[in-house]
Amino acid sequence: MSSKKQSSNNIAQARRIVQQLRIEANIERIKVSKASADLMHYCGEHAKYDPLLMGIPASENPFKDKKPCIIL
Amino acid sequence: MYPSIHPSIHLSTLTSISSSPVIIYVHLAVQQLQTLCFLANFPLAKMAAQEVQPSETIAKLKSESEALKTKLEEERAKLHDVELHQVAEKVDPLGQFVMKTRRTLKGHGNKVLCMDWCKDKRRIVSSSQDGKVIVWDAFTTNKEHAVTMPCTWVMACAYAPSGCAVACGGLDNKCSVYPLSLDKNENLAAKKKSVAMHTNYLSACSFTNSDMQILTSSGDGTCALWDVESGQLLQSFHGHAADVLCLDLAPSETGNTFVSGGCDKKANVWDMRSGQCIQSFETHESDINSVRYYPSGDAFASGSDDATCRLYDLRADREVAIYSKESIIFGASSVDFSLSGRLLFGGYNDYTINVWDVLKGTRVSILFGHENRVSTLRVSPDGTAFCSGSWDHTLRVRE
């Protein structure tokens, strides 16, 4: 009795896997060359706004250690 | 006398794959079945046809799944016309990078396991093995709030988009939300709200676009979406075959997908509304410890115990880059992109942080400083700095 239930569980699981694979096999894909070009384009577009890439001037840098003021 | 038996189309695709006992068995079994079906006029034959052994159906499903997997690989390979680093040869190489530690946050009594930035770009929440969750002001290094969780190994923590609450969880199998009050004397633990309930440890959590919903992943192999106010389960995501270790939400405002990585070496992309797994990637050779979307949302990176980080493009549906070196043999525990997506920061178990050129696939810098493995790493929301947390009990903010 239990072996029948187990086998029907296995069937259900196998069916799920097959259904999942069917969905994955049918999705729309683009060529790697196009995808790479888009990634490169995005990097190029946004590089100038990237502080870690470009560095930021010390005056705008919130983490720069501020020198103590000297009262003359 | 009997009509000739033609193998079904799906069997003919099978025979093109190298033969195996299973396929021959299925071939014979289906032939038998077809013979029986033709004799269906006789009730005896009909009964025999109905009493098909379950093992035969399983074998049929298994062979169909193998055929589909092969088809999937073939479809992906068809579009693999060039490598990302080849296309990126015309991009200017990056210069030398010098990144200094600007702040060291000390105060945790044990290993720092997770951290997150607040949207105000200065506050950080971090959690550690001793059960403490601390909210820091990264500019001044002051501790603004501290909560002691009732469990140890708080592996997940997240800042709410509004900056008014933090979520955390770990070995207690729950995700709890603590509203942050401006009153320093108020006991945060009193206002705690238990939101998520899993049947195993909580490995990661993240608020969605608002304070109202939380996405969690757990050692029980599932991810789940919860309503914070009511604690109700809105959607659950099943598909991983082992512990889910990390997740990341797609950056777009309208996007409704997230990616998760697990101990089954798979990274799955999910539709949040339907609970369906829409894409799956299995090229890593060991547990995936961290996943992070590329800023455009069209790709994501992963860091794994196999000592590599990899970039997967969602529209090409395949891995497009591997970031590895022979000298790197320790696992990557956490990854994050810089604002433009040109740099990938990876925190490793050999105490270092490697900085990779995403397009060219080369390492541009290696950062030292931590005295134990780097467990968590996040770039600040405005991209001006990044923070790493380590088993050496400290967090370092660098830029």
| Burial (CB count within 10 angstroms: exposed 0-12, middle 13-18, buried 19+), residue B274 | exposed
Distance CA B127, CA B111 (A): 9
With an 8 Å Cβ cutoff, are A50 and B342 in contact?
Answer: yes
* Phi and psi based region of residue B91 (left: phi greater than 0; alpha: psi -120 to 50; beta: remaining): beta
CA distance A27 to chain B (A): 9
pLDDT of residue B17: 43
DSSP H helices in B79-141 = 84-87
Query: Would you say B216 and B205 are in contact if contact means Cβ atoms under 8 Å apart?
Result: yes
With an 8 Å Cβ cutoff, are A43 and B122 in contact?
Answer: no
With an 8 Å Cβ cutoff, are B68 and A22 in contact?
Answer: yes
Residue B240, SS3 per DSSP = coil
Residue in B closest to A11 by C-alpha = B58
Distance CA B185, CA B187 (A): 6
Across residues B336-363, what is the average pLDDT? 95
Which residue type does B206 have?
Answer: S
CB under 8 Å to B185, separation ≥6 — which residues? none
Query: Would you say B363 and B95 are in contact if contact means Cβ atoms under 8 Å apart?
Result: no
Range scoring the smallest mean pLDDT among A45-54, B52-61, B136-145: B52-61
| % pLDDT > 70, chain B | 85
Handedness of CA A66, B104, B185, B206 (dihedral sign): positive
Nearest to B5 by CA among B52, B43, B41, B37: B37
Nearest to B206 by CA among B378, B69, B33, B11: B378
Test mutation, B64, B65, B300, B387, chain A, max A CBs within 10 A: B65
Test mutation, B340, B364, B397, chain A, max A CBs within 10 A: B340
Residue with tokens 């050779």: B285
Residue B29, SS3 per DSSP = helix
- If pLDDT is split at 50, 70 and 90, which confidence band does B254 have? low
Between residues B315 and B181, which one has the greater pLDDT? Answer: B315
Nearest to B85 by CA among B329, B303, B362: B362
Q: Chain A residues within 8 A (CB-CB) of chain B?
A: 4, 7-8, 10-11, 14-15, 17-18, 20-25, 27, 29-40, 42-47, 49-53, 56, 61-65
Query: Would you say B353 and B338 are in contact if contact means Cβ atoms under 8 Å apart?
Result: no
pLDDT of residue B9: 39
Test mutation, B313, B364, B382, B398, chain A, max A CBs within 10 A: B313
Query: Would you say B188 and B151 are in contact if contact means Cβ atoms under 8 Å apart?
Result: no
Q: What is the pLDDT of residues B18-66, one digit of tens each?
A: 445 545 544 555 555 555 545 444 455 444 445 556 666 888 888 888 8
CB under 8 Å to A44, separation ≥6 — which residues? B91
- Write the DSSP assignment of B201-263 as a string of letters: -EEEEEE-SSTTEEEEEETTS-EEEEETTT--EEEEE---SS-EEEEEE-SSSS--EEEEEET
> Which residue in the set B122, B277, B339 is minimally distant from A49, CB to CB?
B339
CA distance A70 to chain B (A): 21
Instruction: Number of A to B CB contacts under 8 A, please give it.
Output: 168
CA distance A3 to chain B (A): 10
Residue B14, SS3 per DSSP = helix
With an 8 Å Cβ cutoff, are A42 and B295 in contact?
Answer: yes
CB under 8 Å to B276, separation ≥6 — which residues? A23, B270
The CB-side HSE value for B151 (13 A sphere, CA atoms) comes to 15
> Which pair of tokens denotes residue B194?
């238990």
Residue B70 host element (H or E): helix B54-78
pLDDT of residue A10: 78
> Which residue in the set B87, B341, B343 is minimally distant from A42, CB to CB?
B341
Chain B residues close to A20, C-beta within 8 Å: 239, 277, 280
With an 8 Å Cβ cutoff, are A38 and B343 in contact?
Answer: no
With an 8 Å Cβ cutoff, are A24 and B279 in contact?
Answer: yes
With an 8 Å Cβ cutoff, are B316 and A32 in contact?
Answer: yes
Chain A residues close to B353, C-beta within 8 Å: none
Tell me whether 0.85 is exceeded by the ipTM: no
With an 8 Å Cβ cutoff, are A44 and B79 in contact?
Answer: no
Integer CA distances (angstroms), B44 to A45, B40, B48, B150, in order: 73, 8, 6, 66
- If pLDDT is split at 50, 70 and 90, which confidence band does B13 have? very low
Q: What is the pLDDT of residues B170-219, one digit of tens each?
A: 999 999 999 998 776 667 777 888 999 999 999 999 999 889 999 999 99
With an 8 Å Cβ cutoff, are B339 and A51 in contact?
Answer: yes
